[in-house]
Structure 1
Amino acid sequence: MKQLFKTAAFYAVLGLLLGVFYREFTKFNAFTGTTAIGFLHVHTLVLGMFLFLLLIVVEKNFQITQAKAFKPFMYIYNSGLLLTIFMMIVRGIPQVLSLTLNRGADAAISGVAGIGHILLAVGLFLLFKALYQRIIE
């Protein structure tokens, strides 16, 4: 349960810092449009902090951390979330700075972000598998 709390706290701090980064970076660059970094705050808080806070309640009732699939979930899901967050930053900074990316760079950013999303999906599958394992036991 302590690991879940620490993970939730990490994403809470990261989400708040990313919200400040978005506000200050766009203000400093006089940017008023829509950018990927504008969604970092909410994504990090919901997919990170809130999910792991919810898992604390699930752990209390089902001891989900005892399931075989839970440890792989933690590694894969967190890797996917951090990669997705990083790629949102990589996508958003050029948007704010009005930089035009060549097709190769644009495709590379989209491809790596896609890998992050795939890791998130696999992680969620493992979470459901772990929960199911604990429910049937």
Structure 2
Amino acid sequence: MSKKIGCGGVFYREFTTLSVVHTHYLMLGMVFFLMLVLLENNFHFICNKVRKYLLLYHIGLNLTVVMLVVRGVVQVLSLNVSSAVLFGIAHLILGISMVLVLFSIRNCIKDSF
């Protein structure tokens, strides 16, 4: 049992660039959606179009986290693997979907005033 915990601890300490994965996932995965719940409660902006944007957001978020892990492992092991294209695509999907959701919220807030 302690061998498994020790391996996990060694992996985390050796692959220090992976420490940002947890923070990114927590902020972009949980805090963003908690704020959306508060806004939805007041403005009721979620419709089918916004649901598609949120699905795209989930895809971008999970792909970004996977690419953060891949990039961290590649950097620590000094491998010659280029993951920049997939990492860029993941960030692009995440950013575009976030902007689309925020525009939907803005339009809904404008309509309510």
Does residue 91 in structure 1 map to residue 65 in structure 2?
Answer: no
User: Alignment partner for residue 133 of structure 1, among 103, 107, 111?
Assistant: 107
Change (3 A) 1:101 1:32: closer
Does residue 123 in structure 1 map to residue 97 in structure 2?
Answer: yes
Change (3 A) 1:59 1:79: same
User: Alignment partner for residue 101 of structure 1, among 61, 65, 79?
Assistant: 79
CA apart distance, 1:136: 2.6
Larger Rg belongs to: 2
CA apart distance, 1:29: 4.2
Mapping for residues 21-60 of structure 1, pairs under 5 Å: 25=8, 27-29=9-11, 31-32=13-14, 34-35=16-17, 37-60=18-41
Q: Take 1:86 and 1:47, find their aligned partners in 2: how far apart are those partners? A: 14
The two structures have a TM-score, normalised by structure 2, of: 0.80
Listed as ranges, the gaps of 5+ residues in structure 2 are 1-5
Structure 1 letter corresponding to 2:105: L
Structure 2 letter corresponding to 1:51: F
Find runs of 4+ consecutive structure 1 residues off by over 2 angstroms. Answer: 27-34
RMSD after superposition: 2.2
Structure 2 letter corresponding to 1:130: S
Identity %, equivalent residues: 31
Q: Which residue of 2 aligns with 1:75?
A: 55
The two structures have a TM-score, normalised by structure 1, of: 0.67
Listed as ranges, the gaps of 5+ residues in structure 1 are 1-22
- Report Cα offsets for 1:43-88 as digits up to 9, x if no partner: 011011000011110000011213x641222121111110000001
